[in-house]
Structure 1
Amino acid sequence: MAKIESIFQINKMDCPSEEQLVRMALSDFKKVDLMTVDFDKRQAKIIHEEDSQALFSAIDTLNLDAHLVSDKEINEDSFSSGNQEIQGVILGQVLLINLTFFIIEVLSGYLFKSVGLSADGLDMLADSFVYLLALLSIGKPFKNKKRVAALAGYLQMFLATIGFSQVIFRVINHDYVPNSYGMLFVAILALAANLVSYLFLAKTNQEEVHMKASKIFTSNDIVINLGLIVSTVLVHLLHSPIPDLLIGTIVFAIVLKGAFKILSISK
């Protein structure tokens, strides 16, 4: 039986968590057989028996600057479906990594007086929400997806608001310097965790484990980690909390933006 191969250009899909948002947006379509992504081209290839415009409408709710590039018919035996069991295991592993580092970074942020670490920990939690929703949606429509997405989105917004209030408090009471050595140690661990997560998630798209460095290091999560490391070095050199406050503010803003993306699924 002929199936349709649709390629979508998704210009703002540049990290695995955004890929999972796209997968969740399509999870209610029963005749979507396979989705693979190319982060270099920022494209998603979808094998399906649905209306391509309906798929586009679902993706477009995420506000990721998407458009349909091409449609073509293919034979059923010209593709192999992904192993959903393996995908579930990988998502579970990545979810555990992100939740663990949420706890580590938030506690370290308090211990080392670093807003940047706390913000990055919250970003890890935000990714955890996405991976949890994706895990619950594997293989079948998730009936409570909209309710859980709304809960996750509003909780994320609430935590981001607390983060911004923490930045304001530390700006007013700025007579302190974060522990740059502790910050650097935890920031490097967080970078390693995100790299491992990225490589795990690559397996869900049948990609090679030795991916291009350009693909890995242009991921939003990795860029945030590198920014945190740079801010840590600046804190040490300048003996000032300002670099830490700046990176914290930026990451909290990214987390808040991510909350709106999750909420778009709940509509």
Structure 2
Amino acid sequence: MLWTVLAINAGLFFGEFTAGWWADSSALQADSLDALGDAGVYALSLAVVGGSLRQRNGAAVLKGVLQGLFGLLVLAEVVRRLVAGAEPLAPMMAGVAAIALLANLACFLLLMRFRGDDLNMRSVWLCSRNDLASNAGVIAAAGIVALTESPWPDAAVGTLVALLFLHTSWQVLREAWPGWRNAGNNDPQDVNP
């Protein structure tokens, strides 16, 4: 299941990043970075499946850090596009985001039953949940950009996606860090012979 959602998100990253660059859209490129981050999150989750509690919590800490970095990168990109005077192409934004929404809905449904397994799987599910909000935001931004012919809705959604990254980062790190620090004391797999 993790291999499937990893492949979907890797494909979404390449498609959305290219479309975001072509459409001059901060929101679409932010969404593409979200897909890249998710692919990395799923790869980390695969790497620690069956690992010790400390390894799984360590992977969750790394995921939280990556989410925070992506949030900061997206904020920088929003500012850069506003300064450069971006003119987003609303039809392309909406079409690509609608495809991404369907793909992310499939991922969300695949992951839903595993969200309570452990912190590692919960962090994976949180990323998937964020994707749905991000895709819906890009579609809404595209509609408002089309109506107003202004880049501000695109920048606003890009900023909201960045803030969602930062919130998720904080949420995951707040739970994972203490678990990572304390897991070595409680997990027999982490004790060196």
TM range (shorter): 0.7 to 0.9
Question: Structure 1, residues 33-85: CA drift from partner, whole Å, max 9, x if none?
Answer: xxxxxxxxxxxxxxxxxxxxxxxxxxxxxxxxxxxxxxxxxxxxxxxxxxxxx
Does the residue aligned with 1:177 lie in a helix, a strand or coil? coil
Q: Which structure has the larger Rg?
A: 1
**Aligned residue in 2 for 1:105:** 16
Question: Structure 1, residues 171-211: CA drift from partner, whole Å, max 9, x if none?
Answer: 2233x421112111110110011111123224658xxxxxx
CA distance in 1, matches of 2:90, 2:75: 21
Conserved 8 A contact 2:87-2:151: yes
1:259 counterpart = 2:169: yes
Instruction: Return 5+ residue gaps in structure 2 as ranges.
Output: 116-128, 181-193
- Larger helix proportion, structure 1 or 2? 2
**Aligned residue in 1 for 2:135:** 225
Aligned pairs for 1:230-245 within 5 A: 230-245=140-155
Does the residue aligned with 2:88 lie in a helix, a strand or coil? coil
Deviation at 1:147, TM superposition (A): 4.6
CA distance in 2, matches of 1:155, 1:126: 7
Deviation at 1:243, TM superposition (A): 0.6
Does the residue aligned with 1:118 lie in a helix, a strand or coil? helix
Instruction: Label 1:189 to 1:172 Cα distance change in 2 as closer, same or farther (>3 A).
Output: same
Structure 2 counterpart of 1:131, which letter?
Answer: Y
**Aligned residue in 1 for 2:93:** 183
Question: Structure 1, residues 83-130: CA drift from partner, whole Å, max 9, x if none?
Answer: xxxxxxx11101211122122222221111100011112222333343
CA distance in 1, matches of 2:70, 2:133: 21
Instruction: Label 1:158 to 1:223 Cα distance change in 2 as closer, same or farther (>3 A).
Output: closer
User: Greater RCO between the two (CA within 8 Å, min separation 6)?
Assistant: 2
Structure 2 counterpart of 1:238, which letter?
Answer: T
Does the residue aligned with 1:181 lie in a helix, a strand or coil? helix
CA distance in 2, matches of 1:220, 1:168: 22
Conserved 8 A contact 2:27-2:154: yes
**Aligned residue in 2 for 1:92:** 3
Q: Equivalent of 2:69, from 158, 164, 185?
A: 158
Deviation at 1:256, TM superposition (A): 1.8
Conserved 8 A contact 1:115-1:245: yes
| Percent identity between the two aligned chains | 34
Normalised by the size of structure 1, how large is the TM-score? 0.54
CA distance in 1, matches of 2:172, 2:67: 9
Conserved 8 A contact 1:153-1:263: yes
**Aligned residue in 2 for 1:118:** 29
1:136 counterpart = 2:47: yes
Does the residue aligned with 2:150 lie in a helix, a strand or coil? coil
Deviation at 1:144, TM superposition (A): 3.8
Conserved 8 A contact 1:136-1:142: no
Structure 1 counterpart of 2:133, which letter?
Answer: V
CA distance in 1, matches of 2:3, 2:138: 26
CA distance in 2, matches of 1:199, 1:145: 22
Instruction: Label 1:226 to 1:144 Cα distance change in 2 as closer, same or farther (>3 A).
Output: same
Instruction: Label 1:242 to 1:196 Cα distance change in 2 as closer, same or farther (>3 A).
Output: same
Conserved 8 A contact 2:49-2:56: no
